[in-house]
Structure 1
């Protein structure tokens, strides 16, 4: 957390309850920052991981205390709780299996202006035990970009034995997400630099919140690939220049890595290796987040390995402040609830179904499917297609066309039309009316926002039939109110 190590150590020296600092030689504790993004109105958002390592049996945790001195406005915190996940080193209060589920423990016995103290009784297992400081953020009057910052000032075992805490005030802090909704376009380096190099303008960056830039990948041994591609790196420089001082984030896209991810994610060392390479590259190049588009984990074991990978990436991010997201297909094979808990937001690929591939009713079905995974509405970012698909059963996937191609063929097409004929085949797409209808639902339901695949398929923003223009009339980069 942030520059309050001295405060934390003074409180620790006094002991959790004011007693002399009798340290337990049989246990140690260390702290790490976890999620960097907080949402107004959301509950049980983890901001610190506390690892208590026990070398003897029959140890009982009786309390923890924290200073919130680095928090911008302590009234932003509606509630603070401690969760316990046993030997599981990632935070999931919704895991289906109890041994992987983080459960609330301890009780808040005092809450000062900038302190939280918890007490209770929790049996500890030999080895590493993981605890999580979680906060509920007040939905009223909270300001975007406010900081929530904590320092662990004490960990106590039964019989007044305090535990020595290393790194009680970890670097970094969590921050309240500043916008009402996310607007998240995917953009490909080939289109940015070669196929459609003049589409993006600085004006776009004033309306969307996060641009996911494709792509890097991985091999079967857990090595990052594509990071040295000259066109990709030149495109990143171009994006930063176009963004200027706008508030948009540029997120690194890990794309279409089914073979590699399936091969190595079952191996703990290779997961750590890939996470380290990925996060190191993202930090070096100044990305604001990482998005992983597997396409697709095919069974429960692969989903679980994906959870473990996300946990490693989250840990490697540390205090970088980067977001972590993933693209999810809600109708192919639903992700596990615990995977949802690891992400700052989820990009819902509500398209590419059979027939009319992305209808409004199908979007509603997809949203309800992901809601059943216990992910809060504020993290659900709904995918909008800016392209066509054939409606026939033996669809030719290579026949997809960008929305701009539809308008070139049918310049006078009505805004409410979602069907057209291209090369003798019927194609379905989302016209302006459907895009607005979907955005209206997202806005009224206060979901997390909208994602676009793929933004480079649109017309220029100045064109009256631009889908982005229709979308921005309802959802854009608007500050939290």
Structure 2
């Protein structure tokens, strides 16, 4: 689950080595193979409930973050990362156990559930998982030890984060392990979830049978895509799993609270420039860093409300507080209380002129109705051609925002005027070559069919350097 910190994107086949934390000390006592382990009755209140069972899941690492600053009331579930297994099914000593105890106490007071996350990237070393999953005695010992751990810390479940079971024998053994763990957890009223790779051949190591054993899968839709974790790539990752048979209600979309290619936390980026909260890419020390800002996180959450089972983040210590918090943004969209958009801070106001046409970006008939067409028209200095290019990424005229119809990411999606709503369909990033790029679609503002006549509609299209995509801004 945890990404590396060395500034190189991770792939399925090659990930940088990382020593995020070292498990130390003696292993937890191994339960004898085959012996049933009693689990104390659950004492927690019902979890935070979002509409339609929507889940907001956050990971809390043992090595970072303060449990007293977590927004428990805006999260349904928290996964404490990590505990590591040994090859014989025993568990390595839990890192920072007092932190877990405090986390559970505070979370349960807010009716938020806490699970233990097992595994993680671990420098790419999954040999202990491979060994224990392939041995019936070790597998049973592992399950019993997790039951003991859940009991000891009054946890609500287990989140399996084996990175990654390979297709074939490894995948078969993973299925056996998850079946046994599912029986142990669900018979005791506990949760079983798992973190999985975004897509690709490695995903086949998680066989469709596993979908029936888990309450949901946390899909790690980050460390991929160009730009990093962009809207389209992330949605495709969820659809990939749904296409394999995962029910939508069990598909939880993961979002990063950090950038690529260099690892900056979202909170660091916002501290550098508050406007970064409303961007998906920014330049730091001459290198473009891409992440998910407020508009894209809101757009992903809105999509997940309609098409998936929830949102997950890696990880909570990397968030901000207050109006720029990504946890808050997810919660607000989930419950339908996204605050109204405010005027763009520090924007530049004036006309936007197309290079090829020499004409201005214009709201047809100066209409203020939602859905009003945005077009090219002879420059005339009216309010319908007066645009504010905000530092929040929006472009506004007549009190509303330049918007991609239906939030589409397809070539040819038309541009319209719409109430400002903070979605990714209303974010535009000026490029050094004169393009206006929408990060959600990874496409650029374009004059349809290379048109230059009055009334030519604007659309999005694959970015190019042709004059119908080059714009002079205020």
TM-score range, shorter chain: 0.5 to 0.7
Aligned to 1:409: 272
Match of 2:76 among 186, 209, 214: 209
1:400 aligns with 2:271: no
User: Once the two structures are superposed, what CA deviation does each residue of 1:135-189 show, in whole Å capped at 9, x if it has no partner?
Assistant: xxxxxxxxxxxxxxxxxxxxxxxxxxxxxxxxxxxx99xxx99642010000112
Deviations 1:78-128, CA, capped at 9 Å, x for gaps? xxxxxxxxxxxxxxxxxxxxxxxxxxxxxxxxxxxxxxxxxxxxxxxxxxx
Any conservation in 2 of the 1:183–1:477 contact (CA below 8 Å)? Answer: no
Match among 101, 111, 126 for residue 247 of structure 1: 111
- C-alpha contact 2:257 2:292 (8 A) present in aligned 1: yes
Tell me if the contact between 1:207 and 1:476 (Cα under 8 Å) persists in the aligned partners: no
Distance between the aligned counterparts of 1:225 and 1:476, measured in 2? Answer: 39
CA change 1:351–1:278 in 2 (3 A) is same
Q: 2:69 aligns with which of 181, 199, 212?
A: 199
Offset at 1:338?
0.7
For structure 1, which runs of at least 5 residues remain unmatched after alignment? Answer: 1-170, 391-398
Instruction: Note the C-alpha offset of 1:327.
Output: 0.3
2:100 corresponds to: 236
C-alpha offsets along residues 279-306 of structure 1, whole Å, 9 cap, x if unaligned?
1111221100100111111222211111
Q: 1:456 aligns with which of 317, 333, 357?
A: 317
TM-score relative to the length of structure 1: 0.56
Match of 1:262 among 130, 134, 142: 130
Structure 1 window deviating more from structure 2 (321-330 vs 258-267): it is 258-267
Aligned pairs, number: 285
The aligned counterpart of 1:278 is 146
8 Å CA contact 1:206–1:477 kept in 2: the answer is no
Q: Look up the match of 2:324.
A: 465
CA distance in structure 2 between the aligned counterparts of 1:225 and 1:389, rounded to whole angstroms: 31
1:344 to 2:215 alignment? yes
**Change over 3 Å in CA distance of 1:262–1:422 after alignment to 2:** farther
User: 1:368-397, CA deviations, whole angstroms, 9 ceiling, x for partnerless residues?
Assistant: 11112222111111101111111xxxxxxx
What is the aligned counterpart of 1:443 among 280, 298, 305? 305
Q: Which residue of 1 aligns with 2:161?
A: 293
Note if 1:320 corresponds to 2:188. yes
How far the C-alpha of 1:217 sits from its partner, in A, is: 0.8
Mapped pair 1:423 → 2:285: yes
Q: Distance in 2 between matches of 1:436 and 1:380?
A: 17
1:13-28 equivalent positions in 2, closer than 5 A: none
1:216 offset after TM fit, Å? 0.5
Cα deviation digits, residues 249-274 of structure 1 (max 9, x gap): 01111022622102221111111111
| Structure 2 SS opposite 1:430 | coil
* Equivalent-residue separation in structure 1 for 2:295 and 2:87 (angstroms): 44
Q: TM-score, normalised on structure 2?
A: 0.57
Name the stretch that deviates more: 374-383 or 241-250.
241-250
3-state SS in 2 of match to 1:474: helix
> Does the aligned pair in 2 maintain the 1:209–1:476 contact within 8 Å?
no
Could you say which structure has the higher strand fraction?
1
Cα 1:363–1:245 change in 2 (3 A) is same
Residues 5-84 of structure 1 aligned to structure 2 (within 5 Å): none
Label 1:245 to 1:406 Cα distance change in 2 as closer, same or farther (>3 A). Answer: same
Aligned to 2:56: 183
Residues 393-430 of structure 1: per-residue CA shift (max 9 Å, x gap): xxxxxx31110010111223361x21112233221100
Query: Contact 1:443 / 1:475 at 8 angstroms: preserved in 2?
Result: yes
Decide which of 165, 168, 171 is 1:303's aligned counterpart: 171
Deviation at residue 472 of structure 1 after TM alignment: 1.5
Of structures 1 and 2, the one scoring higher in RCO (CA 8 A, sep 6+) is 1
Note if 1:387 corresponds to 2:251: no
Matched residue, 1:37: none
Structure-2 change in CA distance of 1:370 and 1:267 (3 Å): same
- For 2:254, what is the secondary structure of its paired residue? strand
**Alpha-carbon offset, residue 354 of structure 1:** 5.1
| Matched-pair contact (CA < 8 Å) for 2:67–2:102 | no
RMSD over equivalenced CA pairs, Å: 2.4
In the alignment, which residue of structure 2 is the partner of 1:26?
A: none
Runs of 4+ aligned structure 1 residues displaced above 4 Å come to 176-179
8 A contact 1:384–1:452 mirrored in 2 = yes
